[in-house]
Structure 1
């Protein structure tokens, strides 16, 4: 029962994650209520309780968890802050710091602290400004952001012209995917590798993804990074047009813990561009970087999201997988992808892909695709780790696959039988089942990184017939079942009630 409740509760995560993903577009300038008189002792106590684990006891960015985060936590004693409303080289306002505490920084280890009492957040601001002399030596200087023309007066052609004039594509790429020719060479003020923002992923903009937020980044710069201020290079009118153009590049994300398959009659599509893939709803899986053997992350995460479409015909399952990758790497190391399934006989909760493989963890059914494979094939095997498939220790069984790389994006199609007989112990899937599936992505241009998803439930639905009022309930195979949906319904209703009440 614990497993059922756990899996049912996971169904609420898309609601929670969606709220997080909406946050960047709603990063609002906080209107201060009652602001208490500064009390550094109170602020320091709050800092030690909530902040020191990452930023360190003295604020030098050397906390216990710092090595597990990338980018590293801010050294607060230096007085260099990335997200401000002030001129480059000057310190942020108290309101800037308060907003960062309240909203967090999406795409980093900095969470929002909106659950803290407002007074405690203001005391934290007072304490933070006491840690660096920069707040006295380089006080905040305001920046004129100009006037928002509004979306009806936005001129994307003009904005694109400004994008080209300022040379934004050198880092961000022609299509804004963060794959410009300079992208892989960038380092921050501390000599650590950094990557330009993939502008299509608006949900991960750390300072907000509204046009106003984008204008602020352009005119204030992001201190400590290669992103300069363009306040002297562009008019505020052009800055707003560029901001609206960048906003137009952003793609919505359908982050979810469930991918609904669609059934087709006849052969499944093999071409990544086959229009039949659009009959299945897209599901987006957030990817997380995996720490190395020393428990550290020492490179920026370059693959952060994977989209999947699932089709089946009662005999085979096809997966169309798409993810952004700043470089097409087919040598050594190569770009690669693994689809993970639970082998035959393994059910219930399994170890997170963040920590797999560990000693004594169960084997997984892996479908491994690598760009280094000249035939573009995928191979499936039940294995205890990834390396045995990569190095050929386990040959694996070839699965049909197709791949295409275009402007910073891979699209890969992998097809496998629902119940294969050519792979010992392979996952046996029921056409009416809920199937846990996980994804692992390697960026050959960023070889120290491996990005993984959480386990996602793929629902293999039966075909709908004319006049059918409802679809059959999923069967109790591969960890899914009617009991899950019953519990999930209760949890979802309760969760939606809480969301509505909160709003």
Structure 2
């Protein structure tokens, strides 16, 4: 109502007339002055900071929507809200909208708006509600979440059984990576007709309604109205929902970020299928963002993280790349093939200088290892800057590859001799920080060429083998001690005699 009274009393609306406007204005004169200030403040803040995505009419059609946001911005005129503490079908509470505004929604284009005071956020919320006053005539009643039970093996097992019984795997996949076959279907959509993709439950940084066990319980209980994610409030007991929440929480992986990866020396590099051995190898996770410098830009990359591990022998180096992909693509269905590209400088700098982070530059060329799902082959390229036909194929290819896709996870093992004798190849030297970056292409989302997810520069260092004295000195010292002990005992025995 404040929207009509304080701001748009004379704005034409379907069915509006002069008498209605006069009545509204007369009623407005009876309201305290602060009511106008709050409504006007909410509109001013919304128009300045929210309308670019959500639209000036609240219809989700701001100029930044479309190809620049993931997912499409909320259409406030429909009164459908995903993130609530109210039962399915009921409007959210003010606190629900405040929470989404202040904290944002991870894994989406909605950032946390920490610049606003609590009062300013609430004025924005009041203005947002004015886009669909009919929905908010009914006040949503929040359900009580209570205190989460402590996790236990028995509780998590119970949750796993519910995950199976409720067929959560049909959308989220058996391992929870969002690769369930139901989520692949073209009719898996939100109410507005936009394509929906199940959440990757292993990536806690992508939980749009937050990843704590209480947040998961809230999501399971309320459901996400307007999406294929239904409410479990009436179909499962409170105990069952807590158990399921703890099981989902147990699927989350630990994201280990850092600036450098250490590769240990081994006698033999394990095969990509030897998961047990590779799981014992140290890793770092590289966050990925869209390539925004050159056309065609990628504003909303799907792959947000790639895990990197490395081992080496006397003869070769190996790098294992792991990332989740909800639907593998070999380029045979009208979409480009999935692919991944490793980038190294051709020559190492004596200082901190590195090539330009994307395809190098004319003074600092890069060595590229490029794997494609279409033929399951890896090819070596060189590049010296982003330009037409930037990547030049090497005449000699020294890369060997092993690949695996299972339960929504790609695992690509690339191997190459430490030194090839080719001046266009990076040479791997132990105890040296070697810059490394990664580019990932998700074919299902039409990523190819410069449209991709990319990382910044990181480093890999081949851990130097332990010097010979590490193995020789301790045994020698031990034998010396034993010998000295025997000599002293012999002398003492002789003296006693």
Shared fold per TM-score greater than 0.5:
yes
Q: Which position in structure 1 is the counterpart of 2:192?
A: 190
Q: Is the 8 A contact 1:401 1:412 kept in 2?
A: yes
Residues 85 and 465 (structure 1 numbering): CA distance in 2 closer, same or farther, change over 3 Å? farther
Q: Deviations over 1:32-63 (max 9, x none)?
A: xxxx9871222222223332332233333233
Q: Is the 8 A contact 1:146 1:237 kept in 2?
A: no
Q: Which position in structure 2 is the counterpart of 1:450?
A: 452
Q: Is the 8 A contact 2:348 2:434 kept in 1?
A: no
Residues 56 and 343 (structure 1 numbering): CA distance in 2 closer, same or farther, change over 3 Å? farther
Q: Is the 8 A contact 2:418 2:429 kept in 1?
A: yes
Tell me the CA shift for residue 418 of structure 1: 4.1
Q: Is the 8 A contact 1:91 1:134 kept in 2?
A: no
Tell me the CA shift for residue 331 of structure 1: 5.1
Secondary structure of the corresponding residue to residue 64 of structure 1: coil
- In the alignment, the residues of structure 1 paired with residue 354 and residue 123 of structure 2 have an alpha-carbon distance, to the nearest angstrom, of 42
Secondary structure of the corresponding residue to residue 107 of structure 2: coil
Q: Is the 8 A contact 1:260 1:461 kept in 2?
A: no
- In the alignment, the residues of structure 2 paired with residue 387 and residue 244 of structure 1 have an alpha-carbon distance, to the nearest angstrom, of 50
Q: Is the 8 A contact 1:437 1:455 kept in 2?
A: yes
Q: Deviations over 1:229-252 (max 9, x none)?
A: 122222222111111111111111
Secondary structure of the corresponding residue to residue 78 of structure 2: coil
Tell me, yes or no, if structure 1 residue 246 matches structure 2 residue 245.
no
Q: Deviations over 1:53-96 (max 9, x none)?
A: 32233333233332311112222333222111112222211111
Q: Which position in structure 2 is the counterpart of 1:52?
A: 51
- In the alignment, the residues of structure 2 paired with residue 351 and residue 59 of structure 1 have an alpha-carbon distance, to the nearest angstrom, of 41
- In the alignment, the residues of structure 2 paired with residue 286 and residue 334 of structure 1 have an alpha-carbon distance, to the nearest angstrom, of 22
- In the alignment, the residues of structure 2 paired with residue 275 and residue 166 of structure 1 have an alpha-carbon distance, to the nearest angstrom, of 30
Residues 114 and 396 (structure 1 numbering): CA distance in 2 closer, same or farther, change over 3 Å? farther
Higher RCO structure (Cα 8 Å, ≥6 apart):
1
Q: Which position in structure 2 is the counterpart of 1:119?
A: 119
Residues 154 and 96 (structure 1 numbering): CA distance in 2 closer, same or farther, change over 3 Å? farther
Secondary structure of the corresponding residue to residue 402 of structure 1: strand
Q: Deviations over 1:95-137 (max 9, x none)?
A: 1111112211111111112343333223222222223224434
5+ residue gaps, structure 2, are 1-33, 471-497
Q: Is the 8 A contact 2:298 2:452 kept in 1?
A: no
Greater displacement, 88-97 / 433-442: 433-442
> For 1:339, which of 339, 342, 351 is the aligned residue?
342
Structure of larger gyration radius: 2
Q: Which position in structure 1 is the counterpart of 2:238?
A: 236
- In the alignment, the residues of structure 2 paired with residue 324 and residue 310 of structure 1 have an alpha-carbon distance, to the nearest angstrom, of 19
Greater displacement, 394-403 / 319-328: 394-403
Greater displacement, 448-457 / 165-174: 448-457
5 Å-filtered alignment, 1:363-374, equals 364-373=366-375
Q: Which position in structure 2 is the counterpart of 1:284?
A: 285
Q: Which position in structure 1 is the counterpart of 2:18?
A: none
Tell me the CA shift for residue 277 of structure 1: 4.3
Secondary structure of the corresponding residue to residue 83 of structure 2: coil
Secondary structure of the corresponding residue to residue 176 of structure 1: coil
- In the alignment, the residues of structure 2 paired with residue 111 and residue 314 of structure 1 have an alpha-carbon distance, to the nearest angstrom, of 48
Q: Which position in structure 1 is the counterpart of 2:156?
A: 156
Q: Is the 8 A contact 1:311 1:319 kept in 2?
A: yes
After TM superposition, the score normalised by the length of structure 2 is: 0.75
After TM superposition, the score normalised by the length of structure 1 is: 0.74
Residues 275 and 62 (structure 1 numbering): CA distance in 2 closer, same or farther, change over 3 Å? same
Q: Is the 8 A contact 1:261 1:459 kept in 2?
A: yes
> For 2:461, which of 455, 459, 462 is the aligned residue?
459
Q: Which position in structure 1 is the counterpart of 2:141?
A: 141
- In the alignment, the residues of structure 2 paired with residue 386 and residue 191 of structure 1 have an alpha-carbon distance, to the nearest angstrom, of 38
